[in-house]
Structures are given as structure tokens and as C-alpha cells.
């Protein structure tokens, strides 16, 4: 669990730095960077789901044939880098939405 939290926090820092650089270099509005991060988060999340389905069908066909694919959790069928992609999607969403939430409470 702590490893996942670390990945999300590091992803948030990296996405925030990249978004800030893109805003400065291209003179964009902040909301455009937030929209881009939301789109990136959605693409990473969809990629995560597609890769999970691919690896379960490739390595554990007996689980993919019926609805018990949840039993593959923690067995190493899906590589850890696929899970990191999913965690980075949450990082992108958080970085995109957090400034707007903070501005609501000011």
C-alpha cells in the first residue's frame, strides 16, 4: 500500500512539473493544462484496463473465459508496470482537479 501511495505522489509531482513547464513554454491557460491532464489520465486508465484484459487473456485463459478473473489478483499474471500505469492515471486526475478544489476554499 505504501508503495502505491509513493507512486501516486511521485506521479503527482512529475505531472505538476510537466504541466507547469508546458503552461510557461506555450503560454497556455491553466484550465487547458487541466483538461490535458484529465485526457491523459483517461488515456492512461483505459490503457491500464486494456493491458489487464490482454495479460489475463494471454496468461490465464481459464480465468478470462468466465467471470472469476478477480481471482488472478496478486498472482503475478499482470505485470507490475501495468499497475503503475493505473496509479499514474490517478495522479494525473488529482493534479488536474486539485487546484480547482483548492481555489473553491480560498
Question: What is the average pLDDT value for the chain, to the nearest integer?
Answer: 88
CB-count exposure of residue 45 (10 Å: 0-12, 13-18, 19+): middle
* Number of other CB atoms surrounding residue 14 within 10 Å: 14
Round to the nearest angstrom and report the end-to-end CA distance of the chain: 32
Q: What is the DSSP string of 57-95?
A: HHH-HHHHTTT-GGGGTTTTSS-HHHHHHHHHHHHHHHH
**Interval 29-79: pLDDT, tens:** 989 999 999 999 999 999 999 998 888 788 777 666 666 666 666 667 788
User: Residue 53: its pLDDT value, please?
Assistant: 84
Cβ-proximal residues to 75 (8 Å cutoff; 6+ apart), any chain: 60
Amino acid at each position: 500500500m505504501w508503495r502505491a501511495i509513493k507512486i501516486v505522489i511521485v506521479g503527482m509531482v512529475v505531472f505538476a512539473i510537466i504541466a507547469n513547464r508546458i503552461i510557461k513554454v506555450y503560454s497556455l491557460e491553466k484550465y487547458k493544462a487541466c483538461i490535458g491532464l484529465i485526457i491523459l489520465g483517461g488515456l492512461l486508465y483505459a490503457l491500464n484496463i486494456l493491458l489487464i484484459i490482454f495479460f489475463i487473456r494471454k496468461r490465464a485463459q481459464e480465468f478470462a473465459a468466465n467471470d472469476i478473473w478477480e481471482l488472478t489478483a496478486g498472482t503475478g499474471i499482470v505485470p507490475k508496470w501495468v499497475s503503475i500505469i493505473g496509479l499514474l492515471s490517478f495522479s494525473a486526475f488529482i493534479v488536474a482537479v486539485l487546484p480547482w478544489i483548492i481555489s473553491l476554499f480560498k
